């Protein structure tokens, strides 16, 4: 375990500023609003703020308030945050971010969790941020889950909970499969219980409504990032790695599509927090390597979970509890949690921390 601090060279900040200043802007295409992608006017305003208003050094100082470490597991340096609660009987909780996020997803959630009696461990998925990028394919959710189990063993934890959203929703159950005698429960932000084509004839009226909600969601009709990141990430990584505006447009597009809060993105998620997440990708050059979880995926299959330990879910619809229970032992499935589940840890950390506590209370 080697202590780690973020220290981006000033030359990298100056380079980012110069690239933003020298952007060769594309004209606005015909079409209303977001119908052809991120509107030029909105992106220009956001890029201008990134260049002249956003303060990376302040964000860097904030991130360095969290104890950070590197440790080599399975041939890779794994970056992680490890923040202990003041409570002596704290339950360790392992948080796994998804795409297009990073460990930054949880920076506003950590304090509410430690205050509620959790030790918090936040690793960066291999190829994301400050974790090393794998040099070969095959880094599936199962392999990451095995690495996370080893990390918790090295930290000396005998009993712990795991959480995951997006790609983390695939990883968290795999940690339980790799280490069932030590994991007390698995908490998924959302994604369990999505019906397949074979399930459709059996859906009741309420479930059909939930399925229609799924099929009408913006993120079901946006850019197919699964296919793009599975088949041609190298092609697009040239632009993301060379042009900060290309990278900004890509993440703005996906955050817009994934935003399920019912509010405009700029109201749902703090602009500086969004840009800090983006800046971590930019300064570490990990836009391409963050596609690794998709390399070996076959289509946009939903997470299935596991039955070795109890499962809790933050968001219900468009998932269907009856279907999720086929492959999970569901003990927590609220129907009234605030919306915005994909980025709920960023947009509403207090409610998310409360629901995590509600699930894990009694499991330890």
Among the listed residues 157, 294, 314, 352, the single catalytic one is 294
3-state SS, one letter per residue, for 93-141: EEEECCCCCCHHHHCCCHHHHHHCCEEEEEECCCCCCCCCCCCCCCCCH
- Of 50-64, 209-223, 266-280, least confident by mean pLDDT is 209-223
Residue 166 is a catalytic residue: yes
The pTM (predicted TM-score) of the whole model is 0.95
**Structural contact between residues 244 and 14, judged by C-beta atoms closer than 8 angstroms:** no
User: In the structure, what pLDDT confidence band is assigned to residue 300 with cuts at 50, 70 and 90?
Assistant: low
Tens of pLDDT, residues 173-197? 999 999 999 999 999 999 899 888 8
For residues 133 and 286, give the distance between their C-alpha atoms in angstroms, rounded to a whole number. 8
Tens of pLDDT, residues 76-118? 999 999 999 999 999 999 999 999 999 999 999 999 999 999 9
For residues 300 and 170, give the distance between their C-alpha atoms in angstroms, rounded to a whole number. 12
What pLDDT is recorded for position 194?
87
Q: What is residue 89's DSSP assignment?
A: T
What pLDDT is recorded for position 219?
61
Among the listed residues 79, 97, 332, 342, the single catalytic one is 342
Q: What is residue 202's DSSP assignment?
A: G
For residues 186 and 94, give the distance between their C-alpha atoms in angstroms, rounded to a whole number. 10
Query: 127: closest CA among 245, 362, 290?
Result: 290
Q: Helix (H) and strand (E) counts for the chain?
A: 16, 9
What pLDDT is recorded for position 247?
98
Tens of pLDDT, residues 14-65? 999 999 999 999 999 998 888 899 999 999 999 999 999 999 999 999 999 9
For residues 360 and 156, give the distance between their C-alpha atoms in angstroms, rounded to a whole number. 20
Cβ partners under 8 Å of residue 316, min gap 6: 333, 334, 335, 337
- Mean pLDDT value across residues 344-363: 94
User: In the structure, what pLDDT confidence band is assigned to residue 128 with cuts at 50, 70 and 90?
Assistant: very high
Q: Kindly list the strands in the beta sheet with 91-96, ordered across the sheet, starting from the edge strand earlier in the chain.
A: 2-4, 68-73, 76-83, 118-123, 91-96, 160-164, 183-188, 310-313, 329-332
Place of tokens 């059996």: 202
**Whether the predicted pLDDT of 221 surpasses 80:** no
> Number of C-alpha atoms within 13 angstroms, CB side, residue 47?
25
- Of 173-177, 212-216, 281-285, 329-333, least confident by mean pLDDT is 212-216
What pLDDT is recorded for position 301?
79
The strand pairing partners of 73, in sequence order, are: 76
Q: Which CATH architecture has domain 2-360?
A: 3-Layer(aba) Sandwich (3.40)
Among the listed residues 166, 179, 316, 355, the single catalytic one is 166
């Amino acid at each position: 375990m080697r202590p780690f601090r973020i220290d981006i060279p000033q030359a990298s900040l100056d380079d980012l500023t110069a690239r933003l200043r020298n952007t060769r802007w594309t004209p606005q295409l015909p079409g209303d609003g977001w119908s052809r992608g991120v509107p030029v006017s909105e992106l220009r305003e956001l890029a201008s703020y990134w260049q002249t208003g956003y303060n990376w050094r302040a964000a860097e100082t904030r991130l360095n308030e969290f104890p950070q470490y590197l440790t080599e597991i399975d041939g890779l340096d794994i970056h992680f945050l490890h923040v202990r609660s003041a409570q002596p009987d704290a339950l360790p909780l392992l948080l796994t971010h998804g795409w297009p996020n990073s460990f930054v997803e949880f920076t506003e959630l950590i304090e509410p969790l430690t205050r509620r009696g959790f030790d918090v461990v936040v690793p960066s998925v291999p190829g994301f941020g400050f974790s090393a990028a794998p040099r070969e394919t095959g880094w599936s959710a199962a392999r990451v889950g095995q690495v996370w189990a080893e990390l918790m063993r090295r930290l000396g934890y005998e009993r712990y909970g795991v959480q995951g959203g997006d790609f983390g929703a695939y990883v968290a159950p795999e940690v339980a499969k790799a280490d069932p005698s030590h994991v007390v429960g698995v908490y998924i932000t959302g994604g369990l219980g999505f019906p397949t084509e074979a399930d459709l004839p059996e859906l009741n009226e309420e479930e059909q409504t939930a399925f229609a909600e799924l099929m009408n969601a913006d993120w079901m009709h946006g850019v197919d990032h699964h296919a793009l990141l599975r088949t041609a990430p190298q092609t697009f990584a040239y632009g993301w790695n060379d042009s900060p505006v290309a990278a900004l447009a890509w993440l703005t597009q996906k955050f817009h599509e994934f935003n399920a809060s019912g509010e405009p993105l700029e109201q749902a998620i703090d602009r500086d927090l969004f840009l800090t997440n983006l800046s971590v990708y930019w300064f570490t050059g990990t836009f391409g390597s963050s596609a690794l979880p998709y390399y070996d995926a076959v289509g946009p299959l939903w997470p299935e979970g596991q039955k070795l330990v109890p499962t809790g879910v933050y968001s219900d619809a468009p998932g269907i509890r009856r279907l999720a229970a086929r492959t999970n032992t569901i003990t927590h499935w609220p129907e009234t949690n605030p919306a915005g589940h994909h980025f709920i840890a960023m947009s509403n950390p207090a409610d998310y921390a409360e629901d995590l506590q509600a699930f894990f209370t009694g499991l330890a």
